[in-house]
């Protein structure tokens, strides 16, 4: 008799991905400016550490909120006792108002349609449980966040079918790619229940166009399926607010009542506020049944009352949130520019982006061959020799070898500059070796070609000689 469940012993969690392997190597030898200056620099972690001073300043000016007090009186006991898993009304109100603010107040949200979850990971998994049965499928555009293989599939049994997006289209979603993915699912006898997108994209760092969003709405309308828009990076758009279009804005403009209940949004405070440790995520849906079911499921991963109380005070301070959003946007833009500039000095390009905490970096010219084996070879050199942990495109299910996700907001400017110095030195040396290798390869190829020609000539000569008549010799 087995002592453990199939779930405990299966290997479908996705932890063996190179995305997580890079983290493991970093944890064995983490960089520190003083204690370990030759260690691995973590560039595979999408954390926003650029505006902590704003948060810390607010906390110092609002000791009641930080000390769990109301009007100078402690409410610790009140917060420490059992709370309804629907969430604190004050926090839900502050949360939806903040969601509207980072979307330029072009759309508004109803607190009664919001379900609080322990981070976006929990939100996405909960939606899978609500919308699909084990063995049914969701379509996801590639490249996509490697953690989705764990978040969406591991416990739910839901399948992922990729929508193959390519660099020739700027990795945008096309109608042809959507139709092909849907057909692929049908060929595998999978019932498609919906499409899940990240907007802004992780790992691309780009915002979806209105054309893409309209295409998606039309597609789910025609197929009678759901759309989940994971918008946890909405607050990291650093070009200008007008460049980000929420799916809710498209719904409002089209007045799509027939799909209104089939579009669901995921939000979080982990990326823009830089609070992943607080575990605050949310589902927003106009389907009352989904909201009710998700609320019941949220009891397995609640946001603490203390966290809700503190953040409700912070997000209700409109003067603070307005200044924070503006300044954080400015800092992300500056840091992004610094990374792109550093990459350019190393003769490396990246996809043009306007959001997120990372860049989608093109290193195809550094591959020995146009294969994922060559991509892994390059990735290992960068992790083990250069000591930079970046995420290979294959871990994000990219269809083209040679792309990498590189994060820039989880370190100091000095550390980022050091990372770029290491990368430049590596590329200079590696390009020389690679060029020689290719040159030798071409030279060897020409030699082999000449050798094959010579062999054929010698063989032909011998063959002809043996077949000559005596008087021909």
Closest CA to 113 of 289, 231, 309: 289
pLDDT per residue over 80-121, tens digit each?
Answer: 887 888 899 999 999 999 999 999 999 999 999 999 999 999
| pLDDT for the residue 242 | 56
Catalytic member of 41, 220, 232, 283: 232
The pLDDT of residue 311: 95
Report residue 239's pLDDT band, with 50, 70 and 90 as the boundaries: confident
Angle (nearest 5°) at CA 217 between 213 and 218: 115
Could you write out the DSSP letters of every residue in 315-334? HH-HHHHHHHHHHHHHHHHH
Is the distance from CB of 339 to CB of 50 less than 8 angstroms?
A: no
In angstroms, the CA 40 to CA 447 distance is 42
The pLDDT value given to residue 14: 62
Is 324 an annotated catalytic residue? no
pLDDT at 445: 46
73 secondary structure, DSSP code: E
Mean pLDDT of 195-209: 96
pLDDT average, residue stretch 133-143: 97
Instruction: Give the pLDDT confidence score for residue 446 in this predicted structure.
Output: 46
- How far apart, in Å, are the Cα atoms of 209 and each of 182, 200, 236, 242, 252? 21, 10, 16, 11, 16
For 144-188, how does the pLDDT look when each residue is reduced to its tens digit (9 = 90+)? 999 999 999 999 999 999 999 999 999 999 999 999 999 999 999
In whole angstroms, give the CA distance from residue 70 to residue 296: 29
Q: Percent of the chain having pLDDT more than 70?
A: 90
Q: Is 98 a catalytic residue?
A: no
What pLDDT is attached to residue 462? Answer: 36
Cβ contact 200:207 at 8 Å: yes
Burial 350-373 (b: 16+ CB within 10 A, else e): bbebbbbbbbbbbbbebbeeeebe
The angle formed by the CA atoms of residues 157, 163 and 167, to the nearest 5 degrees, is 140
Convert 126-158 to b/e letters by CB count within 10 Å (16 or more is b): bbbbbbbeeebbbbbbbbbbbbbbbbbbbebeb
Backbone angles phi, psi at 28, to 5 degrees: -75, -25
The first and second tokens of residue 469, run together, are 């008549």
Q: Check residue 385 and report its DSSP letter.
A: I
- Rounded CA-CA distance 363/290 in Å is 43
Decide if pLDDT at 349 tops 80: yes
Q: Going by DSSP bridges, is the β-strand pair 403-407/391-392 parallel, antiparallel, or unpaired?
A: antiparallel
Query: For 271, how many CA atoms within 13 A lie in the half-sphere containing its CB?
Result: 32
Per-residue pLDDT at 439: 63
In the block, tokens 């293989």 appear at 149
CA angle 51, 151, 110 (to 5 degrees): 65
Q: What is the mean pLDDT of residues 131-140?
A: 97
Q: Compute the distance between CA of residue 266 and CA of residue 246 in angstroms, rounded to an integer.
A: 11
Q: Hey, how many other C-beta atoms are within 10 angstroms of the C-beta on 63?
A: 10
Choice among 160, 271, 348, 387 that is catalytic? 271
Question: What are the beta bridge partners of residue 375?
Answer: none
Q: Is 448 helix (H, G, I), strand (E, B) or coil?
A: helix
Measure the CA–CA gap between 229 and 91, rounded to whole angstroms.
Answer: 22
- Check if 145 is active-site: yes
**Structural domains of the chain sorted by starting position, each given as residue range(s) with its CATH number in brackets:** 6-51+329-428 (3.90.1150.10), 62-321 (3.40.640.10)
Residue 330 has pLDDT above 90, yes or no: yes
pLDDT at 438: 64
Write down the pLDDT at residue 36.
96
Q: Per-residue pLDDT tens for 42-67?
A: 999 999 999 999 999 999 999 998 88
Q: How far is CA 45 from the centre of its chain?
A: 10
Q: How many CB atoms lie within 10 A of CB 396?
A: 23
**Catalytic residue (choose from 19, 98, 145, 284):** 145
pLDDT at 10 over 50: yes
Q: Which of 98, 217, 228, 230 is catalytic?
A: 230
Q: Closest Cα partner for 346 from 425, 438, 403?
A: 425
- Report, as an integer, the average pLDDT of 359-374: 96
Asked if 119 and 280 touch (Cβ cutoff 8 Å), the reply is yes
Residue 337 to residue 419: CA distance in whole angstroms: 15
Alpha carbon distance, N-terminus to C-terminus of the chain: 84
Residue 92: what pLDDT? 96
Distance CA 17, CA 123 (A): 22
Lay out the sheet containing 114-117: strands in order across. Answer: 114-117, 281-285, 263-268, 226-230, 192-198, 137-141, 159-163
Whether 95 and 282 have beta carbons less than 8 Å apart is answered as: yes
Whole-angstrom distance, CA of residue 406 vs CA of residue 203: 9
Q: How far apart (Å, rounded) are the C-alpha atoms in residues 86 and 291?
A: 10
Identify whether 173 is a catalytic site residue: no
């Amino acid at each position: 008799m087995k002592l453990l469940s199939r779930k405990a012993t299966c290997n479908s969690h996705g932890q063996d991905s190179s995305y997580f392997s890079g983290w493991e190597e970093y944890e064995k030898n983490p960089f520190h400016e003083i204690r370990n200056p030759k260690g691995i620099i973590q560039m595979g972690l999408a954390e926003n550490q650029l505006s902590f001073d704003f948060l810390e300043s607010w906390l110092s000016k609002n000791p009641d909120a930080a000390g769990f007090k109301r009007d100078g009186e402690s409410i610790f006991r009140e917060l420490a006792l059992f709370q309804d898993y629907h969430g604190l009304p004050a926090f839900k109100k502050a949360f939806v108002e903040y969601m509207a603010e980072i979307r330029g107040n072009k759309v508004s949200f109803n607190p009664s349609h919001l379900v609080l979850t322990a981070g976006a990971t929990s939100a996405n998994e909960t939606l899978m449980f609500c919308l699909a049965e084990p063995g049914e499928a969701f379509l996801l555009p590639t490249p996509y966040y490697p953690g989705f293989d764990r978040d969406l599939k591991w416990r739910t049994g839901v399948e992922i079918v990729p929508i193959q997006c390519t660099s020739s289209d700027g990795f945008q979603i096309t109608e042809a790619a959507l139709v092909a993915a849907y057909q692929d699912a049908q060929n595998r006898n999978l019932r498609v229940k919906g499409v899940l997108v990240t907007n802004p994209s992780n790992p691309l760092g780009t915002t979806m166009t209105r054309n893409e969003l309209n295409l998606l709405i039309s597609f789910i309308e025609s197929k009678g399926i759901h759309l989940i828009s994971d918008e946890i990076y909405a607050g990291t758009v650093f070009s200008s607010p007008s460049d980000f279009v929420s799916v809710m804005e498209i719904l409002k403009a089209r007045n799509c009542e027939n799909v209104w209940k089939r579009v669901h949004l995921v939000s979080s405070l982990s990326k823009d506020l830089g609070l992943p440790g607080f575990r605050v995520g949310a589902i927003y849906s106009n389907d009352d049944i989904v909201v009710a079911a998700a609320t019941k499921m949220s009891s397995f991963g609640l946001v603490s009352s203390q966290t809700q109380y503190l953040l409700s005070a912070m997000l209700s301070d409109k003067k603070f949130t307005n200044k924070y959003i503006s300044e954080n946007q400015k800092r992300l833009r500056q840091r992004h520019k610094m990374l792109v500039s550093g990459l350019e000095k190393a003769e490396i390009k990246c996809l043009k982006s306007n959001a997120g905490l990372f860049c989608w970096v093109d290193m195809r010219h550094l591959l020995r061959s146009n294969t994922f084996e060559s991509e892994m070879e390059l990735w290992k050199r960068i992790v083990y020799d250069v000591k930079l942990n970046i995420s290979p495109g294959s871990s994000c299910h990219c269809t083209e070898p040679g792309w990498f996700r590189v994060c820039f907001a989880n370190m100091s400017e000095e550390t980022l500059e050091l990372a770029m110095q290491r990368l430049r030195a590596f590329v200079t040396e590696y390009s020389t070796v690679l060029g020689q290798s290719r040159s030798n390869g071409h030279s060897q190829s020409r030699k082999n070609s000449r050798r094959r020609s010579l062999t054929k000539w010698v063989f032909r000569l011998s063959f002809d000689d043996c077949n000559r008549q005596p008087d021909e010799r």
